Amino acid sequence: MMNTPKIIERNDHEFTIQLTIPYRKSMLEGEDTIQAALNEAGNLMTGEILQRFDTDGSPIMIGDTKWTSKGKVAKSYQTPYGEARIERHVYQSPKGGRIFCPLERDARIILTGTPKLSKMLSWKYSEFGVTRVTEDLESNHQRKLSRSFIQNICDAIGAVAFAKEEDWVYALPKLEEPTQTVAIGLDGTCMHIVEDGYRQTMVGTIALYDKKGERQFTLYTSAAPEYGKGSFLARFESEVQRIKEVLPKAKYVGLADGAKENWEFLREKTQTQVLDFWHVTQYLSTAADVMFSGEHERDQKKEWMERACHDLKHQHRSAGRLLTEFQEFRSKTKLKKEEKDDLNSVITYFENNQSLMNYADAVQKGFPIGSGVTEAACKVIVKQRLCSAGMKWKERGAAVVLSLRSLSYTKGRWDQFWNKIDRYGFPVAA
């Protein structure tokens, strides 16, 4: 039989607990027993540490007002290990009204959750829905928490993450090699909003590359449809400006597909703009289907595609030569309406974006030429979490999740975010 853990010694600096674990017949049963014992011990230790944040009951000053203790009142706090019930002082001003608990402020309690539990829950919630979070906690941590408690905690943390996106500055991780190129990417993807149906969600990435063209770090940011593209671009611009302050000598490259509004932003923020190479190859494929439509022309089409892609990537002014080739083919060949429409779309695309297709120059300078990082961000940050079958989101709920995911997927930011909550306290942050 497992004995209840107990504190056997304490002083001003530390305390010691005693814990007895019985042997079990199977390894799995033994590990489950250990988990239960550690949870019980963790709960005991958390309660002990929480008590250290309480006052001695003396009056305290808040601004110019003296608050006095109404005595100790018992309250339960949720921890990663269980529910810790402790007695702590609560205060009230001479005018009466609301109650204030210094312990909750100083221990960084979030609603009734300890900071460690809140950090754990919000990370899990950024990855999957509340139902899966409750199942994960019970199956892997032997913790039972209500859906509403988890949702309230995560909503509160997500609200802080969203509110502080423009105010809190995060440090870049230490990189082994100097950064030579910074690629700034923009893209949009759709998600289902309860009030308005499918609407566009914006995603932005800032990727750092060394002189070998190896990606060192990627910063992710996103915004729910409610806040509009203008609001998102203002926040994203702040992120770009902070990177420029840290890396003023880097070369800045804008990467995106053909959406006009993306380039209006990127031209102002970057020295070089490059149209996503893989989007262009899709138009080349469309042109090849028209120019080599016969059954016997499959080999010719394959050879032409390989040459066109190679030349576009490595030969200067290839985009102009390809455009001329398409125009001449259209003028000399009798095409079906569908074929003519397809070829016209390719020609228009090249005419509008030819200035963004200087791939040979970009490759020589070691610049990235594909917006795969940003497209992957659309899938990872938005689609994987917010676009599963049957999902519909309220605007505020989507904003919470996107803020949490942007933090957790940007290396180093999750811990920095929680360090700031630990420093400033949750009420101040909120």
pLDDT tens track for 150-166: 999 999 999 899 888 87
Average pLDDT of the segment spanning 65-77: 96
Percent residues over pLDDT 70 in the chain: 98
pLDDT band at 260 (very low <50, low <70, confident <90, very high): confident
Q: Is the dihedral of CA 269, 270, 273, 277 positive or negative?
A: negative
CB of 107 closer than 8 Å to CB of 50 = yes
**Strand pairing class (96-100; 181-193):** unpaired
Q: What is the pLDDT of residue 2?
A: 62
Q: Quick check: 351 pLDDT over 80?
A: yes
Q: Which helix (H) or strand (E) holds 268?
A: helix 260-269
Reported residue count of the chain is 430
At 12, give phi and psi (nearest 5°). Answer: -70, -15
- CB contact set of 256 (below 8 Å; sequence gap of 6+): 185, 186, 187, 262, 263, 266, 275, 276, 371, 374
Average pLDDT of the segment spanning 192-208: 89
Domain with CATH 3.30.420 in the chain: 181-276+370-411
What value does the mean pLDDT of the chain take?
93
pLDDT band at 427 (very low <50, low <70, confident <90, very high): low
Q: Quick check: 290 pLDDT over 70?
A: yes
Average pLDDT of the segment spanning 275-295: 94
The whole-angstrom separation of Cα 387 and Cα 124 is 17
Look up the CATH number of domain 181-276+370-411: 3.30.420
Q: What is the pLDDT of residue 429?
A: 46
The whole-angstrom separation of Cα 221 and Cα 205 is 6
Q: Quick check: 131 pLDDT over 70?
A: yes
At 330, give phi and psi (nearest 5°). Answer: -65, -40
Average pLDDT of the segment spanning 393-413: 92
- Closest Cα partner for 45 from 75, 19, 26? 19
pLDDT tens column, 84-124? 999 999 999 999 999 999 999 999 999 999 999 999 999 99
Q: What is the pLDDT of residue 430?
A: 46
Return the exposure string of 172-207: e unless at least 16 CB atoms fall within 10 Å of the residue's CB, then b. beeeeeebbbbbbbbbbbebebeeeeebebbbbbbb
Q: Distance from first CA to last CA of the chain, Å, rounded?
A: 45
Q: What is the pLDDT of residue 232?
A: 86
Q: Which helix (H) or strand (E) holds 203?
A: strand 197-209
Average pLDDT of the segment spanning 51-60: 96
CB of 22 closer than 8 Å to CB of 2 = yes
Q: What is the pLDDT of residue 228?
A: 58
Token look-up 């994960």 returns 136
Average pLDDT of the segment spanning 334-344: 94
CB of 293 closer than 8 Å to CB of 333 = no
